[in-house]
């Protein structure tokens, strides 16, 4: 992350979605927050598995990737590594 003149440029848009402030300060609600986001992705994936629409495979792959990234961040947070692997 690069900071200058009151603006932040994110190296990874995914981190922006999760909330860089939460990741940096080690908020105690971060683990339940990430677990909730993972659970939401899993519900969406389950619904898309039953869908027969043409775009559902692409959407399912998107949410699987998002779920995997969330799991990576969660494991780093639990291990106490912060977001060093995502800068």
Say whether pLDDT at 87 is over 70: no
8 A C-beta contact, residue 74 and residue 31: yes
pLDDT beyond 60 at 86: no
Among residues 53, 47, 78, 8, which one has the least CA distance to residue 70?
A: 78
Mean pLDDT of 42-69: 92
For the whole prediction, is pTM greater than 0.85? no
Domain assignments of the chain as residue spans, ordered by start:
2-86
Q: Is the pLDDT of residue 12 over 80?
A: no
Considering only residues 82 and 67, tell me which one the structure prediction assigns the higher pLDDT: 67
pLDDT in the model for residue 85: 53
């Amino acid at each position: 992350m690069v900071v200058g003149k009151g603006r932040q440029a994110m190296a990874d848009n995914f981190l922006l979605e999760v909330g860089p402030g939460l990741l940096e300060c080690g908020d105690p609600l971060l683990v339940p927050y990430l677990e909730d986001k993972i659970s939401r992705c899993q519900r969406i994936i389950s619904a898309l598995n039953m869908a027969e629409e043409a775009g559902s495979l692409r959407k399912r792959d998107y949410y699987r990737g998002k779920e995997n990234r969330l799991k990576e961040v969660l494991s780093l947070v639990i291990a106490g590594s912060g977001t060093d692997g995502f800068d």
